[in-house]
Each structure stands twice: as C-alpha cells, then as structure tokens.
Structure 1
Amino acid sequence: MKQWLYGNRTGWLVLAVLFLLILLPLAAVIIQVALPGVFFGTLAIGDFSLLLDIFRRPLWLASLKNSVTLGIGTTIFATLLGGALATLRSSWTFPTAKLLDISVWLLLITPSFILSQGWVMFASADGLAREWLGWGWMHGLIFQPFGLILVMTLSKFPLAYLTVYTALEWKVDRFRDAARLCGGSPWTVWRTVQLPLLLPAYFSGAMLVFMDTVGDFGLPASIAAVFRFPTLPYSIYSALYTSPIRFDMAGVLSFYLVLLIALAMTFQLLAMRKMRFDFLSGRATRSTAQRPQKRSSAYGLAAFNVLFLAVVIGIPLGSNLFMSLTSSTANGFTLEHYRKLLEDHEVLREGLTHSLAISAGAGLLALVIGFFVAYVLTYSQFALRRAVDVISLVSLAVPGVVLGIGYIFIWNQAWLDRFGLLLYGTPWILVLASIAGAIPVITRVISGAMAKVPNQLLAAAQMQGAGFLRRITTVLVPLLKGALISAGLAAFGASVFDLAVTSILFPPNFMTLPVVINKAFEDLKFGYAAAATITGGGLVILIIWLVERLFHRKPKPQSHGWRNTTR
C-alpha cells in the first residue's frame, strides 16, 4: 500500500515538473497564435488570417517549402541509406566493420552545426575542395537544395541505421527457408518476407529522421554564411533578432513547425495501426554476421566502408581540424588560429566556462528528474504513466527553437519579478531549457537499466522497514551507478553544444561556447571557428573521460595475507 502511495506521489510530482519544463512552454507557443500579447499584458483574440499569410509572404512561404523539401528528401534518402547499411552490417562481417559502428555514434553525438560547418569549409567557393583538390564543381553540387539534402542525409542516416539494425538482432529462419523452398531468390525473399517484417523499424527510423531534419537549426545557421536557404527554425530565430521583434511571425512559423512534426507522428501511427508485425517465437535465433565466402568480397566491403567513412566523417570533422591548422596567408600548416584564440582567451574562457557551468548544473538536475521519471515508468502503478512517457518524449521531437520561444513567453512575465522568478535574461533560463532537452535521453538510458532490476528487491527492502528514499539510495542507485554516470555524461556533452537553445535564450553579454563558434563562423572566420570547435570539443571529451575514469575505477584487489575470521 505504501509503495503504491509513494508511486502516486512521485508520479504527480514528476508530471508537474514535466508540465512546467516541457508542456507549458509548448502550449504557450500555440496560445500566442490564438491570443497574441496575452503573455505581455494584452488580451485580444488573434488574427487567424496570419496562419494563411504563410502562403502570401515570400519569406514565410520559402521557409515552409524549404523545410518540407529538406525534410522529405532527407527522410527518403537517409532511411534508404541507413536501412541498407544496417542490413549489410548485420549480414556480413568484414575488416573495418567496427569503424562503421563507432562512426554512427560519433555522428549522433556531434552537434549538427559542427558537421554543417565542416561541409561549408570543404565546399565553399574558396574552400578546401577547390584550394587543395581543385574540385571547383563541389561548390555548385553542395550549395543547392539537392546538395543540402545530401549533406543532411550523410548526417542523419544513423537514426535510421540504429532502428533497423536493432530490429535485425533476431531472426526466424523458417520464414526464409519456406520462401526459398517455394523457389524464391534471395532478392525475392528479402523483398517479400524480410522487408515487410522490418516496416516498423523503417517507419520509426523515417519519423526520427524527419523530425530531426525539419527541426534542425545547425544546418541553416551554418549555411547562411555562404548560401541563402531559409528554413522554419532559422526564420523563427531571425524573427526574434530583428528590430522590432516579430513575435507574430515566430508564433506562426512555430505553429507550422509543430504541425509538420505532428503530421509525421500521425502518419506513422496510421501506417502501423491495423498491421501486425510480431513474428518472434521460440524458434527465433540471434542474428550473427557471416564472413563472405570470397576473400575479395570481404576486402571489397572493407574498401567501400573506408571510402564511405572518409566522406561522412572525414569531410565534416576533418575539415574542421584541417582549417584550424591552415591559413590563407601562409603556406603549409600553422597554429595561427590557435594563437588568436589564446589572444582572445577572455572570449573563449567566458564562453567555455558558461557552457560548462550550465551543462553541469543542467546535467545534474536532469539526472535527478530523469531518474524519477524512469522510476515512475518502471515501478509505479501511477494511472497517468502513459502521459508521463509521452511528455518526456515531446522535447525530443519539438525543435529547440520552438521550446526556446515558449520559455520566453513563460518566463518573461513582469509579475514573476515579485517572486524572484523572472528568469528571462538570466543564465537560469538556459539551465531550465537544457534540462528539458536532456530529460528524454536520460530517461531512456535509465529506464533500460531499471528494467533489469526486479521490483522484488525494492519490496524486500520495504519489508525490512526501509523508507522510500532509503530504498532509492541503498538499492537502486548502487545497482544503476554505471547507467547514471553514462546518462549524466551524455546530457552534459549534448548541452555544451546546444546551439538552438543558447542562440535564442542567452542573456546579454553572456556568451556561450556554441554562440562564440557560430558568431565567428557568421563573420567568415572559418579557421578561428574551427580552432574554437577543436579546443572546446577536446576539453569536453577530456572532462567526460576523466569523470568516467573517476567513477568507474575498479576496486583494488584484496590482499591475500591473514584475514580476521572471528565473528
């Protein structure tokens, strides 16, 4: 009875926190369209004709068209590419195969604006491709809609890769064998048997790619330095940094951005609603990659993999490193950009210190909130667990620019000043927004680990008189130590380079590392921006490595000398 009671108390508390951090800012964006000015002391019915102005105003319409084009194109190509690579990786083993797995995760954790900046440095009119390789055609290939779809495809395919690769973990050979006995070729078997069974994974991967693409702020922010390609996220950002501030424009464009994501989720639900895909049974076996019969085939796959990784990893990340070590006024390699970075050490130090402090605070607070969200989802009998699960995922789907606008509406209220809660224009609003962005990742990591801890352990501790917090601190936390560290570090690393939120919410004269890098890039200081990226990223990786080593140290082996055996 007590465990049920505490589960409900925790559930209501978690639901209230998630509502405040995620659902309320999102609702504020929608309310602003219906009641413009309501958050600034003016109550009036909105002019809903503004929603149709998106089809009459050239910039608004171009932003919508570009986002839809980029989203649909990237979804198609990234899903096909990720699914093909996942099928290849799960079927065959070859040299350098592990590099593909590592590269997929590297692309996932690297901020999109850093990847995009690498492509700009490589393909711009005076970029690395032209100056060092003589590929003048690269500029025309990349800086046009199809080229941007190609860049996004090579950045977003890991989302589809992981969903399909996970679905291929188990197989039921009797379906394949039955199809082959009926005369089906390997291609026919894959097309008519395996592919239909993988549809949920393909739909999920496609939805993730679409949501991540249409809400991406890093690509348009980086591309804007050399190519005009407005999208909904970037136009929302521009509306907040023009004079006068265009809250009406930001609200309308945010509405359509949320609408696109809602349509994508609805399409997936409708596509899978009346279909059954459960096929695992007692005859299912774990899939194992086979070695190709011909050695030449294995080497061919290895060569293709190396060439592919040279493009998807070597160009964006290699360009950042290369540009940081070269200069347009000097031949060969130089440390000029790092020297300038040290001369401007106050700017770098301020931005890096602010980003690390905000990320550390947000990571710790999000870890506590995410832990209790996972607890409610795993162990409690809270009646609104499904709502908690959905809300905890909303910030993963909603772009950071939309969430940032919602935070402006909520935390920029004059009456909050009486309670000391006027957070807009202070670093605390960045902390709250970073917490909201980190909760989905932390919750998923901890939920997976909690699923391995049986509820009987908590019940046994309760029977021995342990209270709720004591059960948490003495049973769950020690068993989940590794997952807690991994979740916290993942949230910390992602928050440091969150460009969308910090670009919208950073207070005056309060620079953060992503803003420092992006401003240098907008000023066409490519080498300086690359040096700041390498320096800041290297320091963040070092911090993560040190914390990992500190908390994952193995205990020293016990001495084999005399032991006290008295009781």
Structure 2
Amino acid sequence: MKASEAHYGGGVALLLFLFIFLPLLAVLVNVIFPGLFFGNVEWGGIGLIGEIFHRPLWRQSLLNSVTLALGAATLGTIIGGALATIRSRWSFGAARLLDITAWVLLIAPSFMIAQGWVLFASADGLVHSWLGWTWVTSFIFQPTGLVFVMALSKFPLAYLAILAATEWNIRQFGYAARLNGAGPFTVWRTVELPLAMPSFVAGWTLVFMDTVGDFGLPAALATVYRFPTLTYSIYSAIYQSPVRFDMAGVLAFYLVLILALAMALLMLTMRRSKYDFLNARAVKTVKEQPKHAWIYNVAIALFVCLSLGVPIGTSAIVSFMRHAGGGLRVENFTLDHYRQLFSYTAGDHRLLAFLEGMYHSLLVAAVAAVLSMVIGFVVAYVLAFTQSRMRPMLQLFSIISLAVPGVVLGIGYIFIWNQKWLEPLGLHLYGKPSLLVIAGIAGAIPYAVRVQLGAFGNLSGTILKAAAIQGASVFDRMRDIVLPLVRQSLLIAGLTSFGTSVFDLAMASMLKPPNFSLMPLVIDKAFEFSNYGYATAATVVSCASVVLIIMVVQAAGRWVFGRLDRQRQQEG
C-alpha cells in the first residue's frame, strides 16, 4: 500500500516539477549563467542583478510594478474588507449581486477588463464623448488612476479571503469589551480587527501578488499610455530584436523575489497569529436585517456598475457603435461589427482568424482542463488521504504555480523546451501547441487542486482504510470510492481550469506556434490597431461562447450523474 502511494505521489510530483518548478529554476539560473540554454555558457556572476539600478527602463519597470502592486493591494484590501464586513453582518437584496460580481471579476481575463477601461476613459472614449468629463481621462491614465482601476478589478481576492474568515461569530468578545465601557469603534479596533488580521493580510498578499504579476493591464495600456512594468518589459525583451535574455532574466529574478517576499510575509503573519478563539461555544454568523436596507442595495448597485459595469458594459456598447468616440446618437449604433465578424469576403481573413483562434483556444483549454483535472485529482488524493513523503513537495509546487506569473513560466518554457538536443527525442516542444497545453495545465493546477481538496475534506478516511484492508489498490479506491463521491467537484474543477485557460494572453503571446491563431491574440491585435468595434464584438461573442459551453457541460454532467445515481439505486 505504501509503495503504491509513493508511486502516485512521485509520479505527479515529477510532472509538477517538469511543468512548474524546472522552468522557474531555469529563469533563475539564466541570471547567473546567461546564454546557458543556448550553447553559450558564461559566468555572469551576480553583477548583472545590480544593473537594474543603473538602466532606466529596468529601474522604471521595477518601480512601476512595486508602486502599482502596493497601491492596488492596499486599496483593494480596504474595498474588499469593507464589503466583506457588510456582507457578513447584514442581509440585503444586492448581497448576491456582490458575490456574482466578485466571481466574474476573478475569472475574467485582466486584459479584457483593462481594455474596457481604456475604451471608457481614453480621450475619445465613452465618458468623454457622452458626458464630456475630460478629467476622467487625466485621472485614469496616471499612476494613481491605474492603482484605482487595478484595485477595482483585484478586490475580489481580498473580499473572498476576508469573507471566508467571517463564517464564525466572535461577537461575544465584543460584548465583553462593551461591558467594560468600550465603544463600537474601540471594539472593532481592539477586538474584531486583530482577530481578523490574518485574513486581511492574506487578502492583501493575494492582491499584491496578482497585481505584480499581471500582464493584461500593461498590454492593454500600451496602445494609449506608456507604463512599463516588470511583466511587460520581460515580454518586450523576448520579442525585440535582438532578443535580450539577460534583461528578461534579471527582471524575472526581481519579479520572483518580490513574490517570494510577499509569500514570506503571509507565512510570518500566519505563524504569529492566534487561531484559538474558536471553541465549543462557537456558532455560525447569523446575518441581521438592516434598518435601511435600500441604502445598502443602492450603494452595492453603484459599486457593481463602477467595478463591473464600466469595463464589461463599455466593451459591449462599443461593439454596437460605428465609432467609439461618435457620441450617443442613433445613427452611431450598428450591427456591422458582428456582421463583419461572421461574414466572409475575398481577401478578408477576419472571419477565418476569429474561427481559427476560437477553435485553437477552446481545444487547447479543453485538453489542458481534462489533464489538469486528472492531475489535480491525484494530487488532492495524495495530500488528503496518504502519508506520502511527496506531500510537502506537491503542496509547494501547487503554490508556486499560483504565485509565479505566466510570463516567468513562459520564459522558462522557452529555455527548457527550445533545446536542439531534444529534437531527436521528439521533445523539442517550443513552437508546438503541446507546450501551450503544458502551460495551461501549470496555470490550472492550483485551482484544480484546491477545488477538489475542498470536496475531499468532507470524506472520511475510514472508508478508504477499510477498503485497503480488504485488498483494494490505490487506483481502485480512487475509482470506486472517491470518484463517485466527488465527481461534481471534479467537474467544477475541470470547468474552472477550462475557463481560466481560454483567454491566457501571457502564455499565448510568448508560446504561440508560427501561424497558429489564438483568441486572446486575435482580440489583442485588433485592439492594438484601434479596430475597437471588431475587438469588442469578438470579445462579446467569445466570452458568451465560453460561458455557454460551461453551462451546457455542467447541465449535461448533472444529467449524467443523476442517471448514474438512479441506475445504482435500482441495482441496489
């Protein structure tokens, strides 16, 4: 039994090592030995690392990334904390709308959100042509405005982390403080906030890491505003002539260093925090009905319009406009962009580009989702039900994949899988769609593992131990006991992986094979050439298609699972 568990644990650990840790290690090694992966071994030492403080673009990229991440993390945590506190204490009609908004923003590709803000706030955008508010343009396209936009799109990470910590009622401590004369603010400052501090720090760290590794915002801003960040400068270093692997390696090193410091802060806070306030008298939080519920409903509705309605709504509206800056006039609205999207004429390859990009993106995402679902299932099983010595390593690899940005893994994939000596082995994967699948798996693994771990937490290990005593192998236990009980969460994990892989702009930009169209690149290219109508129409259609596919597959899965359950009941 132990040997079988070790085999499964070792197998998935090897896969995660190849998909996640080895590319990251290659990026870090390239800083010290530039050219190592291209047959030109040189000892660069650590002197190149200090060059970031002497080269203006490198230094500005670092400064912009840190400034944006610190500002967005702080403001996003304030927003997320305030909303989570309101959501956990009060019951009002718009509460569910807030939850939906948080999940939509969490899943939506950041470059699409950023493009919506660009179309809304640029000099010829909707807010200028419709309302004449020129101050919005000057506010958004400067560092403070970018912090504001990023905080509005990343706050769900803090909101969900803090909301999860409010499940249990700890107000008895507040009542004790009030009996000793403390006012409401003092109770919140001295009792409730310190107890909730780990969740606030966790939320702040998640927003910080997601912001500092974001590629979508700088990619969308590149058309209207110069704001170099570490991620975009890494991408530019790879795709400029001559290729600057030294620049990409150094910037990637600092990006990983920043993320490591953020993770260390989170771990330190967790270790120094007290978790022993929950005891046998703990009860679930019961939401109260506020006296003026309409105030909460109106405030949440306005916030949703700002955070979700502006970027998503702007893209949808522009897709029906002849000219984005043409104003709110009847003659400016049209269906031409959608007709162009689905019409074919000689010499016009936009339809073929759209269909080909959609097909390739859906196929790559589907394959990556299925494989990540299977790998995530095995990883979650090993973590939850075995004593394998590979458990710490599996946990580490899954966390690294969550923290390390796609552009860093993309560089690592180029270093590792672009070696000439791999060609006779058939493993020269750079420039092939299979590498996009591997990248999709690496990005989906942390979501697949955590979704399934949540379901595994409800299962008793006693059943598995009894089956093992009766001679059932590890595979039999996974197939016959665990799988039927968690198949719904397994389907959700696969759909989550699918949704997060379709519009991965960073990996698509860095690993795209020649003459291989992908949906994120089709949209980004149209946006880059100011073809906003086509770009937004393609965004609306592709996003609607992905949502429809997810809904259909989920409904089909429920029907199949229900039929299997009925058959099992009849046989029993």
Q: TM-score when scaled to structure 1?
A: 0.96
Amino acid at match of 1:234: Y
Amino acid at match of 1:506: K
Tell me how far apart the structure 1 counterparts of residues 304 and 129 of structure 2 sit (CA, whole Å): 22
Does structure 2 retain, via aligned residues, the 8 Å contact 1:7–1:380? yes
Structure 2 counterpart of 1:455, from 433, 436, 461: 461
Structure 2 counterpart of 1:348, from 334, 338, 354: 354
2:101 is paired with a residue of what secondary structure?
helix
Structure 2 counterpart of 1:56, from 48, 54, 57: 54
1:428 aligns with 2:423: no
Does structure 2 retain, via aligned residues, the 8 Å contact 1:167–1:198? yes
RMSD over equivalenced CA pairs, Å: 1.8
CA deviations over 1:125-152 (Å, ceiling 9, x no partner): 0001011122121110100000000000
Structure 2 counterpart of 1:69, from 67, 76, 96: 67
Aligned to 2:347: none
Aligned to 1:299: 294
Aligned to 2:333: 333
Structure 2 counterpart of 1:43, from 41, 44, 47: 41
Task: Give unpaired runs (5+ residues) of structure 1.
Answer: none
Tell me how far apart the structure 1 counterparts of residues 62 and 530 of structure 2 sit (CA, whole Å): 27
Does structure 1 retain, via aligned residues, the 8 Å contact 2:198–2:269? no
Tell me how far apart the structure 2 counterparts of residues 271 and 474 of structure 1 sit (CA, whole Å): 41
Does structure 2 retain, via aligned residues, the 8 Å contact 1:172–1:283? no
Tell me how far apart the structure 2 counterparts of residues 117 and 385 of structure 1 sit (CA, whole Å): 41
Tell me how far apart the structure 1 counterparts of residues 562 and 274 of structure 2 sit (CA, whole Å): 49
Matches within 5 A, 1:160-179: 160-179=158-177
CA deviations over 1:365-408 (Å, ceiling 9, x no partner): 11111111101100111123122101111011000000000000
Structure 1 counterpart of 2:498, from 492, 506, 529: 492
Aligned to 1:116: 114
Amino acid at match of 2:341: L
1:103 aligns with 2:98: no
Amino acid at match of 1:112: S
Structure 1 counterpart of 2:3, from 5, 14, 19: 5
Structure 2 counterpart of 1:22, from 9, 13, 20: 20
Aligned to 2:259: 261
1:558, distance to aligned residue in structure 2 (A): 12
Aligned to 1:322: 317
1:419 is paired with a residue of what secondary structure?
coil
2:69 is paired with a residue of what secondary structure?
helix
1:183 is paired with a residue of what secondary structure?
coil
Structure 1 counterpart of 2:515, from 497, 509, 524: 509
Structure 2 counterpart of 1:399, from 383, 388, 405: 405
Seen in structure 2, the aligned counterparts of structure 1 residues 558 and 48 have a Cα distance that, compared at 3 Å, is closer
Tell me how far apart the structure 2 counterparts of residues 25 and 558 of structure 1 sit (CA, whole Å): 43
Tell me how far apart the structure 1 counterparts of residues 482 and 562 of structure 2 sit (CA, whole Å): 20
Seen in structure 2, the aligned counterparts of structure 1 residues 206 and 358 have a Cα distance that, compared at 3 Å, is same
Does structure 1 retain, via aligned residues, the 8 Å contact 2:80–2:156? yes
Aligned to 1:386: 392
Amino acid at match of 1:306: A
Number of residue pairs aligned between Structure 1 and Structure 2: 558
Does structure 2 retain, via aligned residues, the 8 Å contact 1:366–1:439? yes
Aligned to 1:545: 551
1:369 is paired with a residue of what secondary structure?
helix
Tell me how far apart the structure 1 counterparts of residues 526 and 117 of structure 2 sit (CA, whole Å): 16
1:274, distance to aligned residue in structure 2 (A): 3.3
CA deviations over 1:472-499 (Å, ceiling 9, x no partner): 2111111111001000000001100111
2:331 is paired with a residue of what secondary structure?
strand
1:194 is paired with a residue of what secondary structure?
helix
1:483 aligns with 2:489: yes
CA deviations over 1:282-341 (Å, ceiling 9, x no partner): 11110121111x3xx211111111111110111010011001011117824211111222
Tell me how far apart the structure 2 counterparts of residues 557 and 461 of structure 1 sit (CA, whole Å): 22
Does structure 2 retain, via aligned residues, the 8 Å contact 1:395–1:437? yes
1:47, distance to aligned residue in structure 2 (A): 4.6
CA deviations over 1:188-215 (Å, ceiling 9, x no partner): 1111100000111011111100000000
1:54 is paired with a residue of what secondary structure?
helix
Tell me how far apart the structure 1 counterparts of residues 403 and 120 of structure 2 sit (CA, whole Å): 30
Does structure 2 retain, via aligned residues, the 8 Å contact 1:359–1:492? yes
Does structure 2 retain, via aligned residues, the 8 Å contact 1:358–1:427? yes
1:98, distance to aligned residue in structure 2 (A): 1.0
Aligned to 1:156: 154
Tell me how far apart the structure 2 counterparts of residues 442 and 272 of structure 1 sit (CA, whole Å): 24
Does structure 2 retain, via aligned residues, the 8 Å contact 1:200–1:277? no
1:311 aligns with 2:311: no
1:461, distance to aligned residue in structure 2 (A): 2.7
Tell me how far apart the structure 2 counterparts of residues 142 and 278 of structure 1 sit (CA, whole Å): 44
2:431 is paired with a residue of what secondary structure?
coil
Aligned to 1:474: 480
Matches within 5 A, 1:200-279: 200-279=198-277
Q: Which moved more, 1:166-175 or 1:536-545?
A: 166-175
Seen in structure 2, the aligned counterparts of structure 1 residues 102 and 510 have a Cα distance that, compared at 3 Å, is same
1:77, distance to aligned residue in structure 2 (A): 0.5
Amino acid at match of 1:141: F
Tell me how far apart the structure 2 counterparts of residues 464 and 272 of structure 1 sit (CA, whole Å): 41
Does structure 1 retain, via aligned residues, the 8 Å contact 2:159–2:203? yes
Q: Percent identity?
A: 51
Does structure 2 retain, via aligned residues, the 8 Å contact 1:121–1:128? yes
Seen in structure 2, the aligned counterparts of structure 1 residues 47 and 479 have a Cα distance that, compared at 3 Å, is same
Matches within 5 A, 1:411-422: 411-422=417-428
Aligned to 1:439: 445
Seen in structure 2, the aligned counterparts of structure 1 residues 299 and 27 have a Cα distance that, compared at 3 Å, is same
Q: Which moved more, 1:428-437 or 1:44-53?
A: 44-53
Tell me how far apart the structure 1 counterparts of residues 126 and 217 of structure 2 sit (CA, whole Å): 19
Tell me how far apart the structure 2 counterparts of residues 470 and 301 of structure 1 sit (CA, whole Å): 52
Tell me how far apart the structure 2 counterparts of residues 5 and 476 of structure 1 sit (CA, whole Å): 20
Does structure 1 retain, via aligned residues, the 8 Å contact 2:5–2:474? no
Tell me how far apart the structure 2 counterparts of residues 535 and 181 of structure 1 sit (CA, whole Å): 59
Amino acid at match of 1:48: I
Aligned to 2:346: none
Tell me how far apart the structure 1 counterparts of residues 134 and 450 of structure 2 sit (CA, whole Å): 45
